[in-house]
Chains A and B, each alone.
Chain A
């Protein structure tokens, strides 16, 4: 009080308004926080109940024991010990990462090219929107149907084989087109390439066209502009697309099952097999390890991009 009093007497009028305003400002700030939380409450409730509690639940159950018929509360590490001691785990995790990396390479190359075409080669906004929508429509249709629709293409007597035979490229049907790593990756690329196209296109549309002009005026060739101007400025979009594709592929369990004809395994299938056998504790332990792997990868990727700025 004395300090305020001294302050008042020293600078007179300048202090007076701040003194009278600050409680009101404070109240506005607290009411902002309260209003903010009130409006965020439904979202917090939904995510708390159906995201956070389930994760905690999985973490707890991963320390439980299982018999053939039931799960028993306990605190044992045997699920993790079994998981980490089994060579199958490492093969399957490596296989999962292999799928993620190969899918990433293809979705990136295709997604970047498509977005680049839409953003820099299509000149009218109307056409940009129409073609962009055309790219996104499949995203709103059923994944399972889109997967199944490869079967008549890739099967032994499918379109691909009969076309290749009629062209004389091969003499008899190739077997590895369907139910193989090839078809798994093909399906992944087909399903998830949109997750690469959309964020990259979004970032590219915000690149100031005058930067490209400036580079051209300075004598840069088309390839140089692409490499030195557009690619670096598109990095945030690429990162967001990468996060989507990596996590979707790493968390998948049914694409691999359908497209490999149950012949290949990834972590998701390991978990879903355990669930099928009612081995919830061991499924939970695998799920926790998978979650940590995915979070670490995202943590690394997030160092390169501030997501909120990019929306």
Chain B
């Protein structure tokens, strides 16, 4: 291998600093959430304790953290499931050149780039004028879909752009119906990417804030609860909550990464009989 140019080392330092920039602040509040009971929002640490985490589990003076966490969790799962199904169908649809596909594509791009507050405002107005009550599971759910679906669809575009059609043709030539072709050929091939879609669907919903603000009704989701806390909570309990929800996000990401890796390994073992001496 040729020797590394000098720029490599400069860029490595730059990249390390970039990672520090990305993770440093989060690590800081992670540390600060273990403040002693007398500690404040910044360093120095006045002892270490689990005091602020304990606070979270006790009766809340304001708000309803665990209720909002449950709602965020349920909503995240709802949005995730919908995003997977609708994105796969949408991705398949765009492979058939249906009329209006180009305009439809631009609508998807619009959903991605429209300022979030317009969704919040518009969905809120729509429900108001239709005499419906906004609720996280109806208007909030729909508003979040406008954010997760475009990501899901874009991933499906990327997947199908690289999809080798000859697998499908082979299945059809052997007499598979359209459904059988999808179920036994297409779906297994795209399955790992669907994990990606699921990850996007869940985490974007779980952390979504701007589009849910005016559409969740009287019961907050977790990000809204935290947003409310930023204005009236001045103790490290805020950091403790931040640390917990970040840890939860990391756990979700970790689960997805592990499942993807396991599937990939199993597939490479099952997919090829090379080296097994089979004829």
- A positions within 8 Å CB-CB of B: 32-33, 35-40, 42-44, 46-47, 49-55, 57-58, 61, 110, 113-114, 116-118, 121, 123, 131, 133-135, 137-138, 140-146, 148-153, 155, 157-159, 162, 190, 222, 243-244, 247, 250-254, 258, 268, 271-272, 275, 280, 283-284, 287, 290-291, 294-295, 298, 307-308, 311
Contact = CB atoms under 8 A, between A and B. Distances in A.
B14 A113 contact: yes
B117 A142 contact: no
B242 A142 contact: yes
Interface string B225-268: 01100100000001100100110011011000100000000000
A221 B8 CA distance: 15
Nearest to B207: A142
A116 to B, nearest CB: 7
B142 A46 contact: yes
Nearest to A142: B207
A185 B107 CA distance: 30
A250 B109 contact: no
Contact of A39 (B23, B89, B226): B89
Interface in B156-173: 157-158, 161
B60 to A, nearest CB: 18
| A interface majority secondary structure | helix
Nearest to A145: B242
Contact of A43 (B12, B93, B204, B245): B93
A152 to B, nearest CB: 5
B250 A137 contact: yes
Interface in B204-223: 204, 206-207, 209-210, 214, 223
Interface string B189-216: 0000000000100011011011000100
A24 B153 CA distance: 31
Contact of B117 (A153, A244, A271): A271
B114 A51 contact: yes
A42 B82 CA distance: 10
| B interface majority secondary structure | helix
A280 B120 CA distance: 12
Contacts of A51: 107, 110-111, 114, 119, 146
Given A157-B42, A247-B115, A57 B125 contact: yes
B118 interface: yes
Contacts of B15: 114, 117-118, 131
A153 B28 CA distance: 8
B66 interface: no
Contacts of A53: 122, 126
A42 B121 contact: no
B146 A308 contact: no
Contacts of B24: 153
A148 B118 contact: no
Given A40-B94, A46-B145, 17 more contacts: A33-B97, A40-B90, A40-B101, A43-B153, A46-B149, A47-B111, A54-B125, A117-B11, A118-B15, A141-B26, A141-B245, A149-B28, A152-B42, A152-B43, A157-B42, A250-B115, A287-B115
A27 to B, nearest CB: 14
A251 B117 contact: yes
Contact of B161 (A36, A52, A311): A311
Contacts of B210: 251-254
B142 A50 contact: yes
B251 to A, nearest CB: 11
A121 B145 CA distance: 38
A40 B122 contact: no
A222 B5 contact: yes
B98 A148 contact: no
B113 A54 contact: no
A40 B98 contact: yes
Nearest to B29: A149
Interface in B23-51: 23-26, 28-29, 32, 41-43
A133 B89 CA distance: 27
B96 A49 contact: no
Contacts of A294: 113-115
B246 A145 contact: yes
B226 to A, nearest CB: 5
A135 B122 CA distance: 34
B125 A284 contact: yes
Contacts of B249: 140-142
B1 interface: yes
B98 A32 contact: yes
Nearest to A258: B230
A61 B117 contact: no
Nearest to B150: A47
Q: Which of A143, A145, A222, A308 has its CB near the most chain B CB atoms (within 10 A)?
A: A145
Contact of A287 (B28, B121, B242): B121
